[in-house]
């Protein structure tokens, strides 16, 4: 997590609750419709209304969400030119 929300948040991927890192996910799980746009490795996702920002460390088919609200991909900021 890059920036934590002010209160408790149920972080989900593909519409299902996230599991602790040492937990093996169920085999054959598929993202719910509407939560199947995927995540990209190394990209930041945020829900500005909740003050939440996360960094994706494993790419996949499921979209990140806080409850039923999808997190949006954060556009990278441009570097200043070196004229």
pLDDT of residue 43: 94
Three-state SS for 49? Answer: helix
Section 39-63 average pLDDT: 91
Taking the complete model, does pTM exceed 0.95, yes or no? no
Q: In this model, does residue 40 exceed pLDDT 70? A: yes
CB atoms within 10 A of CB 71: 23
Characterize 43-70 residue by residue with b for buried, 16 or more Cβ atoms within 10 angstroms of its Cβ, and e for exposed.
Answer: ebbbbeebebbbebeeeeebbbbbeeeb
**Edge-to-edge, what's the strand order for the sheet holding 44-47?**
52-55, 44-47, 72-73
């Amino acid at each position: 997590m890059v920036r934590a929300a002010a209160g408790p948040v149920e972080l989900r991927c593909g519409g299902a609750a996230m599991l602790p890192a040492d937990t093996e996910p169920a085999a054959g799980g598929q993202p719910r419709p509407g939560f199947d746009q995927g995540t990209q490795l190394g990209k930041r996702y945020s829900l500005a209304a909740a003050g939440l920002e996360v960094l994706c460390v494993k790419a996949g088919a499921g979209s990140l969400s806080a409850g039923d609200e999808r997190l949006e991909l954060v556009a990278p900021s441009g570097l200043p030119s070196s004229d």
